[in-house]
Structure 1
Amino acid sequence: MNNSDAIWNIVETKRDAFVGLSDRVWGMPETNYEEFRSSAEHARLLEEEGFRVERGIAGLPTAVMGEAGEGGPVIAILGEFDALPGLSQEAGIAEERPIEKSGNGHGCGHNLLGAGSMLAAAAVKDFLAANGLKGRVRYYGCPAEEGGSSKGFMVRSGVFDDVDIAISWHPASLAGVNNPISLACNEINFHFTGRASHASATPHLGRSALDAVELMNVGANYLREHMPSTARIHYAITDAGGSAPNVVQARATVRYLVRARSLPELLSLVARVKKLAEGAALMTETTVRSEVLSGDANLVGNTPLEELMHKHLQRLGPPPFDAADHETARKFQETFSAEDISASYGRFGLNPKKGVALCDGIFPPESGDGTIVGSTDVGTVSWVVPTVQMRGATYAIGTPGHSWQLVAQGKLPAAHKGMEHAAKVMASTAVDLICDPALIEAAKADHQGRLEGIAFVNPIPDDVEPPLPEKSHA
């Protein structure tokens, strides 16, 4: 029996406990930095598995790390467990049916992500012990990926400084090595302060902060023509200054999410957006204060790691979905548009397959043109550690991201099979790296070559603190 078969057998024997973890986390959906119960569930299972556990790493109360093994290289397997607001949904039902009005839901599959990553780490732990191998495997339970950028704070605190390789995955409709393209981003509040006045009797005495917000937004819309086509700017007015139209608003806040293809490009674009704010304040005789909330670097690829992971995906093949899985997926597909299904394939540069409800193959590395991308805080890790990710097929092709349909599929047998499939690939990739130091050296050389001459600047400034909840939790 080769190493891959051996580690895959270990994953199979351990899967039930981690399926249970995934389902429990699904049933307690918690949002950014509020994942106290979910984090506790992860820590409890890490301890049961015999990991050395640290809670509250990097000063984040819901971040947890488990380590096993001694000496040798350090392989990190990254997990997440945060949910999204407003996506409460019953499991397994192909119609919108919230459990709780305006409640949370796992609309990005992070219940599966964390459990699958820990399953891979636990299997590697047992493999190292059974074979007397030197090496350490760490599971990092990372909170607040959905706009909270916890991994950026973790990088800033140095928790990855001694890591040799980082491995992760994300639930998806298709399976394959993730094309390492994402957008670097910053989320920034712009707080404008003016002077209140009677809007009819003495409007000339007022200085409208809301006018400043609107002028900044106009400037941003003109800026779109003069920034790279891959960049993105989004905004939301979070404080319009009040509801009385007969008052000149003395305060107003607009939140901007600025994205760009690379970290240097992001820093340049953010500087331009800040000039828009300064110009709007100058035009309205108000003042403006900017406040960075979060930020992610773009993903840095790694060819040796991607080729290694693809080799394991090809040997393992797609997840073993059965006829019942396909039939359930087809029911969900009836709730999607043709554009939804086409977009699922288009993201990976593939042509749609008619009548196919679940993944039936492995998509090739570097598939897709990178035009349908978002942001992830895994990107920040990839600047300081050679990193590889895979996409694991866990839901029907065409499922929109951050949707009730995705939440509804989070406990289905297909989701569990896809999670186990991803765990096997991550575990066998990790074992190959530990058993062959030349693979790690090749990955490090590739990483160094890609970043040569480019300084890493964490998009989260040193003076920015994570938005932790005020209430303490037991």
Structure 2
Amino acid sequence: MSAHTTNNSQFDALLSLLAAKAPETIALSDRVWGMPETCYAEHRSAAEHLQMLEQEGFRITKDLAGISTAMMGEAGSGGPLIALLGEFDALANLSQEAGVAEAKPLVAGHNGHGCGHNLLGSASMLAAIALKDWLAQTGTPGRVRYYGCPAEEGGAAKSFMVKAGAFDDVDIALTWHPAEFMEVVRETSLANCRIDFTFSGTASHAGMAPHLGRSALDAAELMNVGVNYLREHVPTDCRMHYAYLNAGGISPNVVQAVTKLRYVVRAPDRTRMLDLVERVKKVAQGAAMMTETTVSSTMISAVSNLVSNRPLEEAMQDVMEQLGPPEFDAADRDFAESIRRSLSEADIGAAWQSIGQPARPLPLCDFVVEASERRAPGGGSTDLGDVSWVVPTVQAHSATCAIGTQLHTWQMVAQGKSPIAHKGMVRAAEVLAATATRIYQDANLRQRAKEALKEATRVAGYTSPLPDGAQPPIQEMAALATAP
């Protein structure tokens, strides 16, 4: 263990319990890395997590919110209930050989863990197991619950789980994410939704009778042009992205009768995001009118923005500073340097800018980012946002990759089974578990965290961004998944 740890006997006992289980959960992480499964298709990865929960004697609940790859395992009794949130979904088209510093797919076009969720779920599992054992060893009243959360990458599983009441009895939620630096997450995220637009027209022979056709492809292209003009008239912190799910076929001599677009719409908060969705829908309707086609829209998933919780952030910061960053060695730094040679100066500069520091020639993080550091606004989105609206929530970043590594890249996948990743994963579990022990033992901290959430949500309150009756888009996402 790090020299930064305290001499508190219970704290040291917790870290000893965690160290005893670390090899098993590192092996779990590596197995999940080797079976990368995308949004709602994480059947083998979920089974691996479920098996470990059963092996460790947790009380199991399966099929949360009607999702076959969502689960929870609970241990302990009485006292406060602390949730540890884990993920295990991968990304399409990021297959990559481990441990090499060049783009080298294992299988071209297949999946890869480009966001490090193989590490994320395993470290949260490790923390939950250590807390289970610590609660039993010390006789501390309390329950720990591990949530296996699928489909963070676009499927909004946690949003559906929140809507189904899966977090209603949780007192505090803790999680983490693989990253370049060791820090407590303080920046907010963007609210986000995925919405499909289907244009329907009339097919015809494009040469002999084009006047009889009504082109759905024309409508889709006009919609994209319209949204691109809309960008000038929305706040600069809003985002709109699109992809063709169906461009109408491969025959240019046929007027395309059906096309389908998927849009992602982001804004700083749920209300502005939903308002922007309505503006995008109007552009789609205008495109349909211009082409004499029809358009329908279906919201696939939606997430809220993150709500920060200052009391929990302060408690986690204190723990993180006691533990310090992961302890990397010369071999780790050499591998990180080889990865950095594949990165651009812009990649590396953006990493340092994200924590408000000037760039340095440092391959791996060897410090804890101070609480006072200026943060760049977050531009991403996560379904953790919805959990944070209903449960006081705090998130850590732990250093698992070379500084400058961009998430969702082959470089992240290449480092996913490295000693760098393993050391960062274990340190993340230590931070989560040690923060949780403080929460169990400090009723005042729990109360302040709940009051902070109440104050942060006092004006807007929480309303799910998902429409009533919405169901997890399991089939829609499975149809797009790349089978590993």
Partner residue, 2:399 = 393
- In the TM superposition, what are the counterparts of 1:44-59 in structure 2 within 5 Å? 44-59=51-66
Q: Using the alignment, how far apart are the partners of 1:51 and 1:135 within structure 2?
A: 14
Task: Give, as a single letter, the amino acid of the residue that structure 1 aligns with 2:322.
Answer: R
- In the TM superposition, what are the counterparts of 1:339-418 in structure 2 within 5 Å? 339-354=346-361, 356-365=362-371, 367-418=373-424
* 1:283 aligns to 2:290 (yes or no): yes
Aligned length: 470
* 1:135 aligns to 2:142 (yes or no): yes
- In the TM superposition, what are the counterparts of 1:257-272 in structure 2 within 5 Å? 257-272=264-279
- In the TM superposition, what are the counterparts of 1:15-164 in structure 2 within 5 Å? 15-164=22-171
* CA drift at 1:242: 2.0
Partner residue, 2:214 = 207
Partner residue, 2:237 = 230
Greater CA drift, 363-372 or 226-235: 363-372
Q: Using the alignment, how far apart are the partners of 2:218 and 2:330 within structure 1?
A: 59
Contact 1:181–1:370 (Cα < 8 Å) also in 2:
no
Q: Using the alignment, how far apart are the partners of 1:64 and 1:237 within structure 2?
A: 33
Partner residue, 1:447 = 453
Task: Give, as a single letter, the amino acid of the residue that structure 2 aligns with 1:377.
Answer: D
Q: Using the alignment, how far apart are the partners of 1:413 and 1:350 within structure 2?
A: 26
* CA drift at 1:11: 1.4
* CA drift at 1:300: 0.5
* CA drift at 1:344: 1.4
Q: Using the alignment, how far apart are the partners of 1:240 and 1:122 within structure 2?
A: 48
Listed one character per residue, the Cα deviations across residues 76-114 of structure 1 (whole Å, up to 9, x for unaligned) are 010001111111111111122221121211111101000
* 1:250 aligns to 2:257 (yes or no): yes
* 1:179 aligns to 2:186 (yes or no): yes
The DSSP-based 3-state class of the residue aligned with 1:363 is: coil
Contact 2:115–2:407 (Cα < 8 Å) also in 1:
yes
* CA drift at 1:372: 4.8
Task: Give, as a single letter, the amino acid of the residue that structure 1 aligns with 2:404.
Answer: G
TM-score (norm 2): 0.94
Match for residue 323 of structure 2 among 316, 328, 332: 316
Listed one character per residue, the Cα deviations across residues 168-205 of structure 1 (whole Å, up to 9, x for unaligned) are 00000111001231111010110111122333433333
Q: Using the alignment, how far apart are the partners of 2:271 and 2:388 within structure 1?
A: 15
Listed one character per residue, the Cα deviations across residues 39-84 of structure 1 (whole Å, up to 9, x for unaligned) are 1111111111121112222111111211001011110010001111
Partner residue, 2:12 = 5
The DSSP-based 3-state class of the residue aligned with 1:141 is: strand
Q: Using the alignment, how far apart are the partners of 2:151 and 2:374 within structure 1?
A: 27
Listed one character per residue, the Cα deviations across residues 100-144 of structure 1 (whole Å, up to 9, x for unaligned) are 121211111101000000111111111111111111110001011
Structure 1: gaps of 5 or more residues: none
* 1:307 aligns to 2:311 (yes or no): no
The DSSP-based 3-state class of the residue aligned with 1:289 is: strand
Contact 2:400–2:425 (Cα < 8 Å) also in 1:
yes
Partner residue, 1:459 = 465
Q: Using the alignment, how far apart are the partners of 1:242 and 1:468 within structure 2?
A: 25
Q: In structure 2, do the counterparts of structure 1 residues 212 and 456 end up closer, same or farther at CA, with 3 Å as the change threshold?
A: same
TM-score (norm 1): 0.96
Contact 1:149–1:294 (Cα < 8 Å) also in 2:
yes
* CA drift at 1:255: 1.1
The DSSP-based 3-state class of the residue aligned with 1:218 is: helix
Partner residue, 2:3 = none
The DSSP-based 3-state class of the residue aligned with 2:379 is: coil
Q: In structure 2, do the counterparts of structure 1 residues 366 and 450 end up closer, same or farther at CA, with 3 Å as the change threshold?
A: farther
Contact 1:262–1:297 (Cα < 8 Å) also in 2:
yes
Contact 1:179–1:368 (Cα < 8 Å) also in 2:
no
Greater CA drift, 246-255 or 410-419: 246-255
Q: Using the alignment, how far apart are the partners of 2:358 and 2:378 within structure 1?
A: 15
Greater CA drift, 462-471 or 260-269: 462-471
Greater CA drift, 398-407 or 160-169: 398-407
Partner residue, 2:204 = 197
Match for residue 420 of structure 1 among 412, 426, 431: 426
Contact 2:187–2:378 (Cα < 8 Å) also in 1:
no
Q: Using the alignment, how far apart are the partners of 2:192 and 2:373 within structure 1?
A: 23
Q: In structure 2, do the counterparts of structure 1 residues 367 and 152 end up closer, same or farther at CA, with 3 Å as the change threshold?
A: farther
Contact 2:200–2:258 (Cα < 8 Å) also in 1:
yes
The DSSP-based 3-state class of the residue aligned with 1:95 is: coil
Partner residue, 2:474 = 468
Structure 2: gaps of 5 or more residues: 1-6, 480-484
Task: Give, as a single letter, the amino acid of the residue that structure 1 aligns with 2:208.
Answer: A
Q: In structure 2, do the counterparts of structure 1 residues 422 and 288 end up closer, same or farther at CA, with 3 Å as the change threshold?
A: same
* CA drift at 1:295: 1.1
Q: Using the alignment, how far apart are the partners of 2:390 and 2:187 within structure 1?
A: 15
Task: Give, as a single letter, the amino acid of the residue that structure 2 aligns with 1:398.
Answer: G
The DSSP-based 3-state class of the residue aligned with 1:295 is: strand
Q: Using the alignment, how far apart are the partners of 2:163 and 2:387 within structure 1?
A: 10
- In the TM superposition, what are the counterparts of 1:323-338 in structure 2 within 5 Å? 323-338=330-345
